[in-house]
Amino acid sequence: MKKLLIILVLLFCVSFLYLLFPVSDPPNMVKFIILSQVIFLLYLGIYFIGRKMNISFKKDKNLWMFLLACAVILRFTIPIYSIDQTYLSDDVYRYVWEGKMVLHAYNPYIYSPNDFRNSGLADDLIYPLINHPWHVTIYPPLSQYLFAMTYLISGDSIIGFKLLSLLFEFLSLFLMFILVRKFDLPDWTYLLYLFCPLILIEFLFFNHLDIFGLPIVILLLLNLKESKPNSFLIGILAALGVVVKLYLLFFIPFLIFYFKGKYRLYFIISFLIIVFISYLPFIASSGFNVFGSLVPYLSSWQYNGSIFLLFKQVFGQTTARYICYSIFLSAYIPLFFVKPFKNNVYLQMFAIFGLYLILTPSIFNWYMLWIIPFIILFRNYSFLILSGTIFLSYHVLIGYYNNGVWSDYPILRILTYGPFYLILSVELYYLFKKKIKVVL
C-alpha cells in the first residue's frame, strides 16, 4: 500500500507537469478538462489509500516528509512555470491594475479602467488585458491593499501577485496542519489539503484573490475552538475576511449569536471597527459608494449554476434569481433552530455557504475555496467530489478558443453536478437520521 501511495503521488506531480507543458496556442481545453479529472482521481486515490493505511505523523514520519516535499515542490513549480498561462481566467490583470490605481491615489470604486484609456497609467502589458474594463471594482478594501502590495513587488507584471499568493498559501498550509491537530482529526485528513487540485489549479496556476482569505477562515475556526473563544479577536478575523471578499458576511449572523451578553457586543464592535477603518480611505473620496459593481453582478451575471438553471427554465431569469436569493436568506431561520444545526456554529457556516454554492446563479470554481476547511472538518464527500468535477465547467471554453463562441455540452454539466447531488442526498439522509456525528 505504501508503494502504491508513492506511485500515485508521483503520477499526480507528473500530471501537473504535463498540464503546464507544452503550452499551446490556442489553449487545448480538451486536454485541460481530461487532465483535471485525471489529477482529481489521483488525488482521491492518494486520500483513500492514506486513509486505508491510517498514516499518522508519528509512525509514518518518513512517508509524511516525502508527501510534504512533493506538495511543497508543486507549490513552487506551478506558479513559476505558469506565468504566461491565464487561459482560464484573466482576473489577475484587473487585480494588478487596481493595485496600481490605489498606489496612484485613484479610487477604484469611482474610476473604471476605461477612464484611463488615454492616460499615462495605461501601460502596454497589463491594461490591454483587463476584463470588463467599463466596470468599476467589485473587490473589498483589504483586497485593494493587497493588490497594491503586489504592484509594489513587481510593477506591471503578475509575478508579484503570484509571490504573494504563494506566501498566503504556505501560511494556509501551516494553519491547516494546526487545524487537523487542534480538532483531533485523523492525520490522513491533512492529505485533503496537501494535494487539493482546487488550490493548486485555481489559486497557484490561475491566480484568484480568494487565496488571501483562506488563512483568515482557518484562523477563525481555530479561535472558535478555544475553550474560551476571544470574541474581540474573532470579530477582527471575521472583519478581515469580509474586507478580502464579502462571502464571509454569510457567517456573521451565526457568529453574533454564538456569543452571549457582553461578548456578543465585543464581537460586533470589533467587527464594525475593522470594516469601517478598512473602507475609510475609499469613503473619503467616494462617500459610501463603495460597493462598486456588486449590484450589476448580483442582478445580471450567471455562470455554471445548477438549481438556478432549473428555476430559470420554469420562471425566467429574473424571477429565478429572486427565488434563489429568497431561499438562501430564508435558510438562516431553520439553521438557527433545527437540529443538528442548532448551536453548532461550524455546521451552520458550512451549511449556509454550501447552500449558496447550490443556489447561486454564478459559481466560478474558485468560489469553492471558502468551503475547503469545512470539507476537511466534516470529511464531507459531496462537496469534495464537486471540488473536482467542477473543472468540467470549463467545457464552455472549448468552443470559445476554437471559434470564439462559448460552447455548452449538457452531458458535462450533468457529470459536474450529478455525482454531487447524489452523494449530498445520501449525506443529508444520514445527517437527519442522526446516524453520523456532527458535533466538533
Cell, residue 408: 455548452
The residue ranking higher by pLDDT, 401 or 149, is 149
Residue 298: what pLDDT?
73
Which pLDDT belongs to residue 439?
42
440: nearest Cα among 357, 377, 387: 377
Q: Average of pLDDT values for 33-52?
A: 96
Coil, strand, or helix at residue 405? Answer: coil
- Residue 434 region by backbone torsions, left for phi larger than 0, else alpha for psi between -120 and 50, else beta: left
> What are the tens digits of pLDDT across the range 273-313?
999 999 999 988 877 777 767 777 777 778 888 999 999 99
pLDDT confidence tier of residue 409, bands split at 50, 70 and 90:
confident
pLDDT of residue 260: 94
More confident residue, 81 or 299: 81
C-alpha 104: how far from its chain's center?
A: 29
Task: List the grid coordinates of 334.
Answer: 431553520
379 and 280 assigned to the same domain: no
Residue 223 in domain:
yes
What is the rounded CA–CA span in Å between residue 238 and residue 252?
7
pLDDT greater than 90 at residue 372: yes
- Domain termination residue (choose one: 289, 311, 329): 289
Q: Do residues 265 and 309 share a domain? A: no
Residue 305 near residue 294, CB atoms below 8 Å: no
26 cis-preceded (ω within 30 degrees of 0): yes
Tell which of 246, 264, 289 closes a domain. Answer: 289
User: Mean pLDDT, to the nearest integer, of 118-135?
Assistant: 90
Q: Which residue range(s) make up the domain with 228?
A: 87-158+207-289
Which backbone phi and psi does 303 adopt, to 5 degrees? -160, 120
**More reliable by pLDDT, 175 or 205:** 175
pLDDT at 440: 42
Name the nearest CA neighbour of 104 among 128, 127, 83, 129: 127
Q: Which residues contact 90 (CB under 8 A, 6 or more apart)?
A: 129, 130, 131
Domain annotation covers residue 352 = yes
Rounded to the nearest integer, the mean pLDDT of the chain is: 92
Q: Name the domain boundary from 258, 289, 320.
A: 289
Read off the pLDDT of each residue in 315-341 and give the average, rounded to a whole number. Answer: 93
Tell me if 55 is assigned to some domain: no
Q: Are residues 253 and 307 in the same domain?
A: no
| pLDDT tens, position by position, 350-368 | 999 999 999 999 999 999 9
Q: Are residues 264 and 329 in the same domain?
A: no
pLDDT at 303: 86
Provide the number of structural domains found in the chain.
2
